[in-house]
Amino acid sequence: MSHMKIFTYPEPVLKKNAEPVKNIDEELQEIIDQMLETMYAAPGIGLAANQVGVLKRVIVFDGSPREEGANPQILINPEIVAAEGSIKWDEACLSVPDFTAEVNRNANIQVKGLDRNGKPLELEAKDLLAVCLQHEIDHLDGILFIDRISRLKRALYKKKLKKMEKGKSSK
């Protein structure tokens, strides 16, 4: 199996809304397997389909500590049905390299969707898992975590990105 390319900011695909999955077929199963492999290789704890250029409402994630082994989870057509509390979390993203920022999120959420076999699934999540799920579902709606930080911090990241690009092109 091969890794998929992870698109990075400012790629236009990251700002697009993913389409609901209507058919869970063999092609989708293959995409899910490749997304999991890509997420673990990156390494990351979550990956949304649009991050790999697939505009389908699919996320993969694994909030378990690395030392406990892999616990891959899949959510198709995920939606947050309940949210409460507030938490600040230092977030990073495979599509926003070399940058972290504190983001305000809901501390506890309830999410529903489908598992990879099309069976209804409901999850309650708190802390890191809640942040991860909100972050990945945002991706499906074309929202990056840098869209949730102050303009100043976002401008600083864009400036840093331009410097990095200049450095690459002068080599």
Q: How far apart are alpha carbons 96 and 106 in whole angstroms?
A: 21
Residues forming beta bridges with residue 56, ordered by sequence position: 19
* DSSP three-state, residue 161: helix
Rg (CA), the chain: 16
Planar angle of CA 77, 116, 11, nearest 5 degrees? 55
Active-site position among 27, 68, 136, 165: 136
What whole-number distance in Å separates Cα of residue 64 and Cα of residue 44?
Answer: 11
Active site residue 26: no
Largest interatomic CA distance in the chain: 52
Q: How far apart are CA 92 and CA 101, in angstroms?
A: 7
Catalytic residues: 136
